[in-house]
Amino acid sequence: MTPEFIVDMAKRSLEVTIMVSAPMLGFGLVIGVAVSIFQAVTSIQEMTLTFIPKILGVMVAVVLFFPWMLQILMSFTSEIFMNIPQYAK
């Protein structure tokens, strides 16, 4: 294994991680901003108000994007398994 291979594998792993987590983080971010604006407008400063909408939003994102996330993870995993003989050189 060369240093270039290790850097490339780390780069690819980080790309897959970001791609898989982006929908959930995006939904959580949008809902968090919306709840913060709602709290600022209504002067409701309840700290626990943000948790339930964010949890529900992340669950919706998982349900909506799960087939796509599963496809990304399966292709990355199968690519790794198929190339194991090349990695062992």
- The per-residue pLDDT for range 26-48, each reduced to its tens digit, is 999 999 999 999 988 998 888 88
Model pTM greater than 0.85? no
Domain span at 18: 3-87
What three-state secondary structure class fits 75?
helix
Neighbour tally for 61: CB within 10 Å: 21
CA 32, CA 49: separation in Å to the nearest integer? 10
Torsion of CA 20, 25, 27, 31, to 10 degrees: 170
CA 18, CA 39: separation in Å to the nearest integer? 30
Residues of the chain below pLDDT 50: none
How many separate domains does the chain show? 1
